[in-house]
Chain A
Amino acid sequence: MTAPTRTEIRSAPHIKGPRSVEQIMANVVYSLLPICAFFVYQYGISAAASILVVTAACLLAERAFVRTGTQAGSLSDFSATITGLLLALTLPPGFPLWMGAVAGISAIALGKALFGGIGFNVFNPALVGRAFVQAAFPAAIATYTPSFLPGRFTQFIPSSLAWPLMAPADTAAWLKAMQFDALASATPLAKWKFEGTLTAAGDLLTSLAGHMAVGPSPVLILTCGAYLALRRFMDWRIPAAVLGSAGLTAWLIFALGGTKYPDPFFMLFSGGLILGAVYMATDMATSPVTPRGMWVYGGLIGVLTVVIRYYSGLPEGVMYAILIGNAATPLIERITQPTPFGKGASIRTRKSASYTLHPDYISREEASAKTPKKRFFKNKPKKS
């Protein structure tokens, strides 16, 4: 006896259930897994250990801060996992594991917990963590190793296993023993900046050719990003704006400046621009919500990236460009408010705050108003 299948027919509007944070975050994690797998395929067990340690450090830090009770969110929302995975992908594969742990902890502490937890952070936590270690260990973070080394699945890159607080082993000597010259371990961007040699854009696109010191393949990242965009877990406008403006700026400088500058394809596919555009700039809490704002925000990041790469002492500029874009987000949202339906340009009024204020905060000045309390300890007894 089978129950007859019932087809319900209803009239519009068809409202889908709201998406939960967990659902979005979990999907981002799934889409990151192939990229992590590729990273491990490129660099072997050092990369695997780095991903594990950084993510574990993020999760532990998140747990510690959530337990104090001052934080929004919980471990199960996957946001700390994303931070850890992204952070590990931006670090060199042979980055000492203890420094990776420092990066993970500072990402959560300085990037997220400081502002009140998930959804309150101003800056992308993974990039805050990376900026901290960039400032703390500038030498280690610039030490890359070539990909697809023989024996990478059985042998750690020696710098990975540095004792906590101790300086990493010299990878140059290790590479020399493996018959690689010092140039092999420079990233394509560093090679261009300091040596003036370009890497072919096609090789950069797949990351598969030879022993290059590059991150996961841009093609793979774009594919995984496209999955997220198609399922609407991510807005396609931001990566499009970042890549478009970076490509356009690079092309303009290339067309006007001539041979001194690399071609725009090299700019687009080298370094962390694709990963940054697809996964970092699109972080929901730190990017604008207005469609026009997304274009402005992405455009700003793209231009800044190229400008920093060309005109500063650093070969890579994606991190600082996105952090500056994050800082500009509230401003961008404010000037790109959409006009509500029915309010034409002629009767547009002055815009006020772009977000609704918590009623408790509005009346905080009044003596009788109750201030929303932050509780530092969970079981703090009430004052008599």
Chain B
Amino acid sequence: MNAPAHPPQPQATPATSLLKTLGLVSTVCGLIIVGAYQGTYDAAAANRRLALERTVFKVIPAAKSMAEWQATPQGIRPAGGEAVAGAVKFYVAYDAAGVLAGIAAEGAAKGYADTVRILYGYSPACQCITGFGLVASKETPGIGDKIVTDKAFLANFEALDVKLNAELSALANEVKAVKHGTKANPWQIDAIAGATVTSRAVGKAINDSAQQLLPKLLPEMEKLQKKES
């Protein structure tokens, strides 16, 4: 009973009763949790897939469908199955006809406030970056977050050169953000004046990720040309 206790002698509750109560509560709660998990699993998975597709399709506008792949030291293969150490995940996007529209991959680098995570689109046809979108960032609103609104900055990513060197082991030219107004080569990114740190982070994120992914990806490009149905 939960009546106000009699101060002098609160009687001890037997251990079995304590165990029984806790057991009952755990059972009830366990059932509720499992029920909720089962009930929402499909919707949540669909949501997550949709969100990913939306980001990828934003980076590669021509895309209509996509598949998830990973690049391992042994070569590229569709994602799923057992995880391989050192594997890099990337997304292959196809247009309405099922022809390769582009490849999207994630990159991350330290920005002004925290890690800036971006998703960039890569076009095998011109061997260049064709666009990027923000996955997560905590950059200063009004300054650092200009990287997704500043038109002059985004123009850098219409055809950012990421050609590989002759041995296909690394990028021919390191992608790098340079001081505002000094861009001279197609592999350089013209930084936003006043948001140099964030601009550099974008450059570094693309460079780091592309250095890792493209040398593995390019030799096996033909595997990806047509959508597997």
A and B touch in the complex (CB under 8 A): yes
Q: Are B142 and A138 in contact (CB under 8 A)?
A: yes
Q: Complex formed: what's the CA distance from A275 to B176 in Å?
A: 39
Q: Complex formed: what's the CA distance from A142 to B112 in Å?
A: 17
CB of A177 within 8 Å of the partner chain: no
Q: Complex formed: what's the CA distance from A313 to B194 in Å?
A: 11
Q: Are A194 and B196 in contact (CB under 8 A)?
A: yes
Chain B residues with CB below 8 A from A139, complex form? 142-143, 194
Q: Are B197 and A138 in contact (CB under 8 A)?
A: no
CB of B126 within 8 Å of the partner chain: no
Q: Complex formed: what's the CA distance from A313 to B193 in Å?
A: 14
Chain A residues with CB below 8 A from B112, complex form? 313
Q: How far is the CB of B22 from chain A (nearest CB, A)?
A: 43
Chain A residues with CB below 8 A from B179, complex form? 194-195
Q: Complex formed: what's the CA distance from A139 to B141 in Å?
A: 10
CB of A182 within 8 Å of the partner chain: yes
- Give the dominant DSSP class at B's interface: loop
Chain B residues with CB below 8 A from A142, complex form? 194
Q: How far is the CB of B152 from chain A (nearest CB, A)?
A: 12
CB of B140 within 8 Å of the partner chain: yes
CB proximity to B under 8 Å, residues A174-206: 182, 194-195
Chain B residues with CB below 8 A from A194, complex form? 179, 196
Chain B residues with CB below 8 A from A138, complex form? 140, 142-143
Chain B residues with CB below 8 A from A313, complex form? 112, 197
Q: How far is the CB of B161 from chain A (nearest CB, A)?
A: 26
A137 nearest in chain B by CB position: B142
A135 nearest in chain B by CB position: B140
Q: How far is the CB of A63 from chain B (nearest CB, A)?
A: 32
CB proximity to B under 8 Å, residues A135-152: 137-139, 142
B197 nearest in chain A by CB position: A313
Chain B residues with CB below 8 A from A195, complex form? 179
Chain A residues with CB below 8 A from B143, complex form? 138-139
Count of chain A residues near B, Cβ 8 A: 8
B193 nearest in chain A by CB position: A182
Q: Complex formed: what's the CA distance from A139 to B140 in Å?
A: 10
Q: Complex formed: what's the CA distance from A313 to B181 in Å?
A: 21
Say which size band chain B's interface belongs to.
10 to 19
Chain A residues with CB below 8 A from B140, complex form? 138
Chain B residues with CB below 8 A from A182, complex form? 181, 193
B180 nearest in chain A by CB position: A182
Q: How far is the CB of B194 from chain A (nearest CB, A)?
A: 7
B144 nearest in chain A by CB position: A138
Q: Complex formed: what's the CA distance from A138 to B181 in Å?
A: 22
Chain A residues with CB below 8 A from B142, complex form? 137-139
Q: Complex formed: what's the CA distance from A284 to B67 in Å?
A: 68
Q: How far is the CB of A145 from chain B (nearest CB, A)?
A: 15
A167 nearest in chain B by CB position: B142
Chain A residues with CB below 8 A from B193, complex form? 182
CB proximity to B under 8 Å, residues A292-344: 313
CB proximity to A under 8 Å, residues B170-229: 179, 181, 193-194, 196-197
Q: How far is the CB of B198 from chain A (nearest CB, A)?
A: 11
Q: Complex formed: what's the CA distance from A195 to B112 in Å?
A: 18
A-contact bits for B99-111, CB 8 A (1 contact / 0 none): 0000000000000
CB proximity to A under 8 Å, residues B134-148: 140, 142-143
Q: How far is the CB of A195 from chain B (nearest CB, A)?
A: 8
Q: How far is the CB of B138 from chain A (nearest CB, A)?
A: 14
B181 nearest in chain A by CB position: A182
Q: Complex formed: what's the CA distance from A79 to B196 in Å?
A: 40
CB proximity to A under 8 Å, residues B68-115: 112
Q: Complex formed: what's the CA distance from A313 to B200 in Å?
A: 14
Chain A residues with CB below 8 A from B194, complex form? 139, 142
Q: How far is the CB of B150 from chain A (nearest CB, A)?
A: 12
Chain B residues with CB below 8 A from A137, complex form? 142
A190 nearest in chain B by CB position: B194
Q: Complex formed: what's the CA distance from A142 to B195 in Å?
A: 12
Q: How far is the CB of B192 from chain A (nearest CB, A)?
A: 11
Q: How far is the CB of B164 from chain A (nearest CB, A)?
A: 33
Q: Complex formed: what's the CA distance from A142 to B143 in Å?
A: 11
Q: Complex formed: what's the CA distance from A321 to B143 in Å?
A: 23
Q: Complex formed: what's the CA distance from A113 to B58 in Å?
A: 50
A-contact bits for B121-142, CB 8 A (1 contact / 0 none): 0000000000000000000101
Q: How far is the CB of A131 from chain B (nearest CB, A)?
A: 15
Chain A residues with CB below 8 A from B196, complex form? 194
Q: Complex formed: what's the CA distance from A214 to B143 in Å?
A: 23
Q: How far is the CB of A311 from chain B (nearest CB, A)?
A: 14
Chain A residues with CB below 8 A from B197, complex form? 313
Interface of B with A (CB < 8 Å)? 112, 140, 142-143, 179, 181, 193-194, 196-197
Q: Which 3 A-B pairs have the closest CB atoms?
A: A139-B142, A138-B143, A138-B142
Query: Given A139-B143, A182-B181, 8 more contacts at CB 8 Å?
Result: A138-B140, A138-B142, A138-B143, A139-B142, A139-B194, A182-B193, A313-B112, A313-B197
15 CB-based A-B contacts, threshold 8 Å:
A137-B142, A138-B140, A138-B142, A138-B143, A139-B142, A139-B143, A139-B194, A142-B194, A182-B181, A182-B193, A194-B179, A194-B196, A195-B179, A313-B112, A313-B197
